[in-house]
Amino acid sequence: MRHLLFLLFLPVFVFGQNVDLRGTVTEASSGKPLSDVIVSISGQTEIAFTSKEGVFVFKDLPFGEYQLNFNLLGKISSNLNVLYNASSEKIAVKLEDSSLDLEAVTVNAKAENDFGRTHLKSIQGTSIYESKKSEVVLLEDISANLSTNNARQVYAKITGLNIWESDGAGLQLGIGGRGLSPNRTANFNTRQNGYDISADALGYPESYYTPATEALQKIEIIRGASSLQYGTQFGGMLNFVFKKGPKDKKIELTSRQTLGSWNFFGSFNSIGGTVGKLNYYTFYQHKQGDGWRPNGGFSQDNIYVDLTYNFTENFSAEFNHTFSNYTAQQPGGLTDALFDQDARQSFRDRNWFDVDWNLTSLTFDWKVNDRVRLNSRTFKLDAGRSSVGNLERINVADLGGNRTLIAGKFDNIGNETRLLTRYKLGKEYGAFVFGTRYYRGVTTSIQGDGSDGSDADFSFVNPENPENSNFRFPNTNFSVFMENIFNISPKLSITPGVRFEYINTKSEGYYRQRVFDFAGNLISDVKTEDDLSRKRSFVILGLGASFRQSDDLEVYANVSQNYRAINFTDLRIVNPNFSVDPDLQDEKGFTADLGLRGKKSTYFSYDLSLFYIAYKGRIGQILKADQPPLYLDYRLRTNVADARNIGLEAFLEYDVLKALNPSSSKSLSVYVNGAVIDAKYINTEEASIKGKKVEMVPPVMVRTGITYRDNAFSSSIQFSHVGEHFTDATNAIRTATAVEGIIPAYQVVDFSAAYSWKVLRLEGSINNLLNQMYFTRRAEAYPGPGIIPSDGRGFYMTLGVKI
């Protein structure tokens, strides 16, 4: 530990030396000095960065003739031949603006080379991504149904993702990577513009709110060693980055109107621009429809405001506010026999779900000088979710009566502050990031009887004394983290990291255990007061290495410890389909990666990786039948065993037309995205799961497609295959309740196309082109319980205008 901390803090003790060659870089149009310009010398590894005064220096440079190269995003790169001797004058360089603004350069330049998929640079902003598995979806360059947030298409080129489909409108996102459960994306640290958006990052990390894909610039996914900078989750970090207003316009209006199957209507309208020092972007989105199955209607509204004020070139403040609300009827689950009979039928017409999400953030970004940058984000969540309906097994008829109502409120506030400094050590440059995080969350969860009607009534029959439980869950988290890039040579780097965590989770309230006889009469009602507190603190470590043979070829490896806190809210939910072990413990383990990524010119891109995830006391579900008086089978959520996931992920994309003619304006790319995962339980005394496969882990996933693009037209067809897998640790094949059993292998084909003409854009898509009947999940509660069928064939058409 002492050696690692010494390495991390080493940059603090490194000081610069005298310089000989000096110059300045300014903006051609205004004459203002430009900071952070990268200045390099052809044929040499040494580089320099301009200061806020636009000054660059090279030390101890022998007299001679050199070619200096100047690069800055948003400016036209420049080369200058100089004859350096004792009488040389100070060098002065002016850089012209690029024809595209900064954001456009970031997106379009990557799209040209990476087919709408790329990975993060080693350093971006105040974050370090060196030697990490990172993937970025560039939304401007993919052909997908954005109006419905179609996850199969949006994440088609992200390796190793299992996708749950709970609704056809994209109201909720359910993705899990590398064999982790996709349930409401809870195994990712889920963020928006760099700050948390889930219900409670520690106590209840489920994401009920999904950002509008039509408003996004990109989606970043960082896995493996991302636990050190972004929390302790095994799954890594998922970050949605919104668009900003154009820098060269005072106002830009975008409007997109979508019609689709089952009376789907979507309207997206945004305004953005730059006025003086203020950049702004805001949108309103509305979606509604009837759903593919009866009792599946929904209505959603999203509002977003972003204001960024640049006080100076080096200091800015950004304000975000997001409001999202949707109400959806849930048609319930099906048994295996009912699904085989007719996947569209519904036997629940009294189940509803409602979400209100309010997110606010304030971010300060300060470029202290050309080497040091400080970023501080403060974020606030005021949100709630309510579900009302019949939670009984789907093989039990709904005969009316009071429904079960579960209401949760989330009141969270947090701050994450990062300081990044670049420094020179010997002949190479390094980077050091130091960060702190404070998070305070208070979740309330109430479960009791709701109304006996069939409408969307989210009020309790007995609000002062709920029949099942009433809990308050305060959570406090404080973290300190550090990472450092040591460039051993121009090609080899090592990145150690460390994170300290303090977690205090509490549970305050009561729960009631009620037993009914076969006639529905209450025969026992025991109320138990509960007051728990769990404090823990720990240190996790990580180490990464990267070797770049060239700019287009990198080999990387990393290993990182992980920790996942239990969800206190799960412990006190009364559900006839499952129970939770009161002695449930936090999960511990580590992840390891070995990867190879690169590209060849503009026509071939690849990303290959091996991973290993180790769990100690993995939380899972096993089938039991030991609860009196009926002794029916049920799921028990507990620390079932140690487990390990081993997998291979591969992504390849080849542009046929670019390979034949690199200067061609047309593109015909073929991609293959595949993952093979072997996940098993180990070190267990539980006979029912010994040697069994880990649930929710498809052994094979393949997504492949062909995309054609020219200046005005694009089209894509995609094929997805997901292998058969289990939903519980005992690997049950089929049960009467349909809550547990296999997920059969399924295949889905999607088609989309778009045509642009001047300010207009016409888009069309056919989801599930071959009208396959399949399902991706079995639900234990909402929106089930039972099998949740995925949507059949659906048609969508979007007309957009940008002025």
Q: pLDDT band at 650, cuts 50/70/90? A: very high
Question: Mean pLDDT over all residues of the chain?
Answer: 87
CA 275/CA 309 separation, integer angstroms: 10
pLDDT of residue 111: 37
CA 264/CA 700 separation, integer angstroms: 33
State whether 181 and 54 are in the same domain: no
State whether 577 and 604 are in the same domain: yes
CA 147/CA 500 separation, integer angstroms: 41
pLDDT of residue 91: 83
pLDDT of residue 290: 97
- The closest of 590, 592, 537 to 562, measured between CA atoms, is 590
State whether 37 and 111 are in the same domain: no
Residues facing residue 274 across a β-bridge: 279
List the structure tokens of 783: 């929106």
Instruction: Choose the final residue of a domain: 188, 221, 239.
Output: 239
CA 236/CA 222 separation, integer angstroms: 6
**Which domain range does residue 51 map to?**
2-95
Give the strand pairing for 189-192 and 237-242.
parallel
Average pLDDT score over residue span 682-690: 83
> Does residue 177 register a pLDDT over 50?
yes
CA 278/CA 349 separation, integer angstroms: 49
State whether 439 and 584 are in the same domain: yes
CA 113/CA 106 separation, integer angstroms: 12
HEC secondary structure over 626-688: CCCCCCCCEEEEEEEEEEEEEEEEEEEEEEHHHHHCCCCCCEEEEEEEEEEEEEEEECCCCCC
The total of structural domains in the chain comes to 3
pLDDT of residue 793: 97
Instruction: Choose the final residue of a domain: 95, 124, 153.
Output: 95
Q: What is the pLDDT of residues 371-380, one digit of tens each?
A: 899 999 999 9
State whether 128 and 276 are in the same domain: no
Phi and psi angles of residue 325, each rounded to the nearest 5 degrees, phi first? -140, 135
Beta carbons of 702 and 185 less than 8 angstroms apart: no
Q: What is the CATH number of the domain that holds 416?
A: 2.40.170.20
State whether 312 and 224 are in the same domain: no
pTM: 0.86
Pick the residue with more confidence: 485 or 42?
485
pLDDT of residue 602: 79
List the structure tokens of 392: 């009984």
Q: pLDDT band at 330, cuts 50/70/90? A: very high
Q: What is the CATH number of the domain that holds 57?
A: 2.60.40.1120
- The closest of 400, 395, 402 to 633, measured between CA atoms, is 395
pLDDT of residue 5: 43
Q: What is the pLDDT of residues 398-427, one digit of tens each?
A: 888 999 999 999 999 999 999 999 888 877
Average pLDDT score over residue span 662-675: 92
Residue at token pair 């071959």 = 770
Beta carbons of 484 and 497 less than 8 angstroms apart: yes
State whether 395 and 308 are in the same domain: yes
> Does residue 432 register a pLDDT over 70?
yes
- DSSP E strands in 78-125: the ranges are 78-84, 91-95, 117-118, 123-124
> Does residue 720 register a pLDDT over 70?
yes
State whether 75 and 224 are in the same domain: no
State whether 649 and 794 are in the same domain: yes
For residue 116, the 8-state DSSP code is T
Q: pLDDT band at 397, cuts 50/70/90? A: confident
> Does residue 51 register a pLDDT over 60?
yes
Q: Poorest-confidence range of 628-642, 652-666, 703-717, 756-770?
A: 628-642
Q: What is the CATH number of the domain that holds 136?
A: 2.170.130.10
State whether 703 and 653 are in the same domain: yes
pLDDT of residue 243: 96
Q: pLDDT band at 230, cuts 50/70/90? A: confident
State whether 89 and 162 are in the same domain: no
C-alpha Rg value of the chain to the nearest Å: 28
Q: What is the pLDDT of residues 469-512, one digit of tens each?
A: 999 999 999 999 999 999 998 889 999 999 999 999 888 888 88
Beta carbons of 479 and 504 less than 8 angstroms apart: no
Q: What is the DSSP code string of 726-762?
A: ESSTT---B-TTSSSBEE--EEEEEEEEEEEETTEEE
State whether 735 and 788 are in the same domain: yes
Beta carbons of 764 and 736 less than 8 angstroms apart: no
Instruction: Choose the final residue of a domain: 75, 95, 115.
Output: 95
> Does residue 287 register a pLDDT over 90?
yes
Phi and psi angles of residue 140, each rounded to the nearest 5 degrees, phi first? -65, -20
pLDDT of residue 48: 77
